[in-house]
A and B are shown apart, each in its own frame.
Chain A
Amino acid sequence: MNEQKLTTVGEYAYKQSRTRDFLKRYGMALVFIAPHLIFFLAFCIYPLIYGIIMSLFKYNIADPSQNEWRGFGNFITILFRADNIYHKEFWYAMGNTALFAVVVVPLSIIIPLFMAICINAKPKGYKLFRSLIYLPSVLPVSASGVIFTALFGFLFGYINQWFGVSIDWLNSNPMLAWLVILLLCLWGGWGGNFIILNAGLKNVDKSLYEAAAVDGCTGMRRALAVTLPAIKQQMVLCIFNTIIGYFGLYGQIYVLTNAGPITDSTNHATMSIMWYIQNLINSGNYSVYGMVSAMGLILGIIIGIITAIQLIITRERKSGTKRSNEFAEYLKARGSANE
């Protein structure tokens, strides 16, 4: 009987010590990650799953009795039913967004890269310039939009006044409207890529530059042959983050053009996919929420595919010399076998 008591106490003490050890080891980590974890679960995981469920329904937020199971009907409509207005406008907006991303992404890399190279040369006052370059990124989109509206306004805009022209930048020609949106995106966005590329440039091995100098490689040739390959990882990161970011283009369009000008009876010329989804939610049609959820998921899948491409491209680089080592071993083994 005493033995059993000792055994029971021993087991009890063992369990207690395991729990204490666990908390001792991971308790502080849990305390620190708990806020983010709770936020992540409540505001990311839960809405994601709820959205997936909604996308399988005709979902009416006003009258739940009208909710109907549609299965993949919403997805089929968006992807395949060319006669349906949601299909038409979804892909029109997606086309606008993709085309804009194709144009803005190279500029969003080249311009910050150029600035990073200049700053990396540490000219006089480079610290001030570095701050000024990043400053627009600190401003919220709404504030930037007010600035650009003041600049490019038709009647009282500063650009028209300074240059003595009378151009309706935002409400006449779609190309002009896209140009202003592009300028706002570049101006507001170059700070982030600049920081990453600048950091990348700082980490380029100085011996590479010395070696290049010995071989007589200077100036532009050095930038192309030494600098760019050395910061390839950062550039790939910037490219894909920028692409993914601009697939969510909304704020700049909302504050500048609200997807106008209207080019014909059907289309808002500067409509992006996020603006379209948001406009559907605001349209006053309470039955559209299932369809909108499906659109959001399809957009998420497309962005996921882009992310996957990024992972595949960067993964090979991360493998380092693994493949070459494996090949060297293969050759060695083959050579031994031949002998």
Chain B
Amino acid sequence: MKIKKLLTSAVCIAACLAVTASAGVLSACKKPSRELVNDIVFDEFGDPIFTDESGKGIRLKIQSVIGSPDNAYLDMVNTAFNDYYRSSGLQADITSVENGIFYQQLANTINTDPKNAPDVIIFHSERLTYFASQKILVPMDETFELLGENNTFDKSNYLENVIAECHDKDGTLYGVPLDVHSGVWYVRKDILEKNGLTMPSTKAEFEAVCKALMERKAAGTLWTRDMTSVKTQIENATSEQEKHNIRERAWKQVGAETAASFFPVEMSAADNIESGWLPQTAVLQNGGKLANADGTPAWNTSSGLKNTLEMFEGWQDKYIGANRDNQTLFANLGNGNAVFGCEGPWWMEQRLNEYDNYLGEGALAILSLSGLYADDPQSPAANAVYGVGHVFSIANTAANSSATRRVAAALYAKFMTENAVKYTAGGHLPACKTVLESEEYKTSVAYNRYLKYMADPADYVMLGNTQYFSPVYEQLKTAYIWTLSKNKSGTVEEHIRGCFEEAMAQIRGSDDL
């Protein structure tokens, strides 16, 4: 009986504690007290001092959504920052956080885990407007202004189309853009040339090349070459001539029976990376918009989107094989069962190295998305490419209520973006004009080998300042995925309409909350 009373009391006490703690929810309705404390001290040169009286400096915590393999390139720039600011006492440590959990844990960490909360976050710029509305970011302009006369940050030094997405709806700058990029087509140029074909640059040319390849397959005159079959031989070869002979001997002329699994294009309904670029680019290249001024989706009325998705639908079992999957892309390209595969640009260096080594230079080529989905190749928008960018922002944490720390974070963002040449090797175009126009960038191996084949940076069009990133972007991806799905019913037009209605329902639901 007594133990029962004791347990009951314990549960009641816990309940009271829970209610009290929950009252914290009510009291937390007040704005968090992160008022700026202007504690900056400048030296005789007008630069901020980052060390305190005891000589202890500032160590910035950076959380980045950039993962493998391009985080290795970002680390190089971070090392350069640390070297540059070491004597000032300012250092930075980057932690890469997997995309799936980065956004989920970000708000929680900033608000409830001050010890581990990051000072600077590197994330995808299309989410900036939403983050700014949730007050987890600090305005960047105002932070740079704390430097007074020594402020050298210049917004015009960044691509206008890219930095536009770093503002919120009211026009306040919340981030410094690092880069812009899009998916690219990895093309077996050696197979195209062997079959007397050239790299396409328009929708019609792309389809014509695919048709020609399939006709050769049907006629039994298709030339193809399997890279995996020559790998061991190439590794054991002792001279360039021997390697050349091995590569030449690897060519085979095949037909419908011997190359039943050959289909020129690798595309899949399995939520591959291309779903995040192709439909978006199709909208833009036909003069459409992705989002309206109020942030709602604008792609539903795009005839270019409808035409492109219908084209992809028609390619199934014609130019796209039935058994394509996100695991098969590079495998099928490598063994010559495909010629075109769309993937992220961060694989460019690795894949080019691989193909140059085993099949010779030029076997693999990079084809940007420019002009490939425009119904009218001559239209002004025909070269537009949907761009995704990474941005540096300062997290609204208690630690960053110190003006010195905030300024340190801003200078970090400035340094990283203005010295990003090494980072671009990961397949990203720099957002900073100084970098774009620098000799170091233009003479870099990465630029001459593959970056210059990506779209012109000025042609990139970002998602825009919408706080409804998920409904606008994800439902457009769903429209594409469904087009290639084996389980669909209805027409492309019906499905675009359905995805749009779902996006609007999600937006209404979110606004209702």
Q: Which residues of A contact B (CB under 8 A)?
A: 22, 26, 29-30, 37, 41-42, 45-46, 48-50, 53-54, 57-67, 77, 84-86, 88, 154-155, 166, 168, 171-174, 261-266, 269, 281-288, 290-291
Contacts and interface: CB of A to CB of B under 8 A. Distances in A.
A42 B104 CA distance: 23
Nearest to B504: A85
Contact of B110 (A58, A59, A62): A62
Contacts of A66: 134
A263 B502 CA distance: 13
Given A263-B487, A265-B475, A63 B135 contact: yes
A50 B21 contact: yes
Contacts of A84: 508-509, 512
Interface in B96-116: 100, 103-104, 107-108, 110-112
B189 to A, nearest CB: 26
Interface stretch (B26-34, B149-157, B404-412): B26-34
Contacts of A46: 14, 17-18, 21
Given A65-B30, A67-B29, A85 B508 contact: yes
Given A26-B3, A174-B487, A284-B470, A63 B501 contact: no
A154 B19 CA distance: 51
Contacts of B208: none
A17 B2 CA distance: 16
Contacts of B104: 281-282, 284
Contacts of B230: none
A272 to B, nearest CB: 19
Contacts of B490: 264
Max chain A CB contacts within 10 Å: which of B14, B31, B486? B14
A42 B2 CA distance: 22
Given A26-B3, A46-B14, A265-B501, 11 more contacts: A29-B3, A30-B3, A49-B18, A62-B135, A64-B25, A84-B512, A85-B502, A166-B323, A264-B498, A265-B498, A290-B513
A287 B513 contact: yes
A63 B136 contact: yes
A169 to B, nearest CB: 12
Contact of A45 (B15, B111, B488, B510): B15
A22 B510 CA distance: 56
A54 B17 contact: no
A54 B19 CA distance: 11
Given A62-B107, A64-B32, A264-B495, A154 B323 contact: yes
Contacts of A288: 510, 513
Interface of B: 2-3, 6-7, 10-11, 14-15, 17-19, 21-22, 25-26, 28-32, 100, 103-104, 107-108, 110-112, 127, 130-131, 134-136, 269-270, 322-323, 325, 327-328, 469-470, 475, 478-479, 481-482, 485-490, 495, 497-499, 501-502, 505-506, 508-510, 512-513
B482 A264 contact: yes
B14 A50 contact: no
Given A65-B30, A155-B327, A41 B478 contact: no
B18 A59 contact: no
Given A85-B509, A265-B499, A65 B135 contact: yes
Given A45-B14, A50-B21, A64 B28 contact: yes
A291 B6 CA distance: 35
Contacts of B17: 46
14 contacts: A42-B14, A45-B14, A45-B18, A54-B25, A64-B25, A67-B26, A171-B269, A171-B270, A173-B486, A262-B481, A263-B487, A264-B498, A265-B498, A291-B513
A188 B421 CA distance: 52
Nearest to A41: B14
Contacts of A42: 14
Contacts of A86: 509
Nearest to B268: A171
A152 B488 CA distance: 21
B502 A265 contact: yes
A49 B15 contact: yes
A282 B129 CA distance: 18
Contact of B486 (A29, A57, A168, A266): A168
A155 B337 CA distance: 15
Nearest to B324: A155
Contacts of A172: 485-487
Contacts of B100: 282
B25 A67 contact: yes
B111 A62 contact: yes
A125 to B, nearest CB: 41
Contacts of A49: 15, 18-19, 22
A265 B111 contact: no
Contact of A41 (B10, B103, B481, B499): B10
A19 B21 CA distance: 32
A282 B497 CA distance: 26
Contacts of B127: 284
A57 B25 contact: yes
B478 A284 contact: no
A291 B513 CA distance: 7
A174 B489 CA distance: 13
A45 B30 CA distance: 26
A53 B15 CA distance: 12
Contacts of A62: 107, 110-111, 131, 134-136
A58 B488 CA distance: 37
A30 B9 CA distance: 14
A175 to B, nearest CB: 10
Nearest to B16: A49
Max chain A CB contacts within 10 Å: which of B21, B28, B269, B512? B512
Contacts of B489: 264
A28 to B, nearest CB: 11
A41 B6 CA distance: 13
A235 to B, nearest CB: 32
Task: Please give me the 8 A-B residue pairs with the lowest Cβ-Cβ distance, nearest first.
Answer: A265-B498, A62-B107, A49-B18, A53-B22, A62-B134, A85-B509, A64-B28, A41-B14
A24 to B, nearest CB: 12
Contact of A61 (B11, B108, B479): B108
Contacts of A263: 487
B29 A65 contact: yes
A45 B17 CA distance: 10
Nearest to A69: B26
B506 A85 contact: yes
Contacts of B486: 168, 171-173
A64 B110 CA distance: 12
Given A37-B7, A65-B30, A85-B506, A58 B513 contact: yes
Contacts of A154: 323, 325
Contacts of B270: 171
A171 B484 CA distance: 11
Nearest to A170: B270
Contacts of B269: 171
B487 A261 contact: yes
B363 to A, nearest CB: 25
A285 to B, nearest CB: 6
Contacts of B25: 50, 53-54, 57, 59, 64, 67
Given A41-B14, A46-B17, A86-B509, A284 B103 contact: yes
Contacts of A168: 486
B134 A286 contact: yes
A265 B482 CA distance: 8
Max chain A CB contacts within 10 Å: which of B17, B103, B509? B509
Contacts of B488: 264
Contacts of B7: 37
A234 to B, nearest CB: 29
Contacts of B135: 62-63, 65
